[in-house]
Amino acid sequence: MPLLSADPAAFPAEPPADTNDQAVTAAHDWAAFSTIDEMTDHWARPGWSDGSRAYYWMLAFLNDQPLATLARQCQEELAPLGLDPVPTEGLHITLARVGSPDVVTPDQLDGLARDAEALLPSAFSVRAIPLAGSRGAVRLSLGPWDPLLQLHHVLAEAGSNVGLAPKMPTSAFRPHLSLAYNNRRRPAAPVVEAVSELRALPAVELSVPAVQLVELRREGRTYRWDVRKDVPLG
């Protein structure tokens, strides 16, 4: 398992002390989120304007009713803040960017999926644990991190094998599941306070039997995607 390292581009920048202890990862996420002063506009991302597309590895949870119920409850409570909620059919864990459709060829995608399938670990589950956030989103912490880190590591290895190594190394990966995106610069305190009141909600178990290679696109202030490859875990 590759060791995590500090990275100013990641959030939290510092990794948690124990990636296999759910309480530790949740507390670490909250400590980072609860001390930020200002939230930023998630959509103000260079090179990712309305209509942009890119291939990504992700874990999609289209039919997970417990997760959808938890997401809706949190989103309804947070509605007065004017965040952009993630549609229940769009709940996902982003793993790694593969590249843009104008650069990545269909043959590379096929090769990537074949290489990944040969390397993938066994199916696993993780828990979506207390609500926290980042500078640009409100999101669920996840735990344990270890199976997600291992998955990211083998996807990065598969990408390197076909010339599509992800820009973000596993050492900077911070697993999370976003529920709502912040759409303007604002003081963080009101958002942190609202999120803190939802942290006692019960966790949900997320089964991970496969990983999805998708063509992700931005439509206004939401994300949509088409699955190009659904690759089962070993």
For the CA atoms of 170, 174, 178, 180, the dihedral, rounded to the nearest 10 degrees, stands at -120
208 pLDDT band, cuts 50/70/90, is very high
Does residue 6 form part of some domain?
no
Summary mean pLDDT of the chain: 95
Range of the domain at 36: 31-232
Percent of the chain residues topping a pLDDT of 70:
99
Q: Tell whether the model's pLDDT for residue 1 goes beyond 70.
A: no
Conformation bin of residue 149: beta by default, left when phi > 0, alpha when psi is -120 to 50 = alpha
Q: What confidence score (pLDDT) does residue 20 get?
A: 94
Does residue 202 form part of some domain?
yes
Give the pLDDT confidence of 128-166 residue by residue, as tens digits: 989 999 999 999 999 999 999 999 999 999 999 999 988
How many structural domains compose the chain? 1
3-state secondary structure of 153: helix
Percent of the chain residues topping a pLDDT of 90:
91
Return the closest-CA partner of residue 36 out of 169, 171, 186, 174. 186
Q: Tell whether the model's pLDDT for residue 40 goes beyond 70.
A: yes
140 phi and psi, to 5 degrees?
-85, 135
Q: What confidence score (pLDDT) does residue 221 get?
A: 95
Alpha helices in the chain (DSSP H): 22-33, 65-78, 106-119, 146-161, 189-196
Does residue 11 form part of some domain?
no
Does residue 16 form part of some domain?
no
Q: For residue 64, give both structure tokens.
A: 């997970």
Q: Tell whether the model's pLDDT for residue 2 goes beyond 60.
A: no
Widest Cα–Cα separation across the chain: 48
Q: What confidence score (pLDDT) does residue 30 get?
A: 98
Tell me the CATH number at 183: 3.90.1140.10
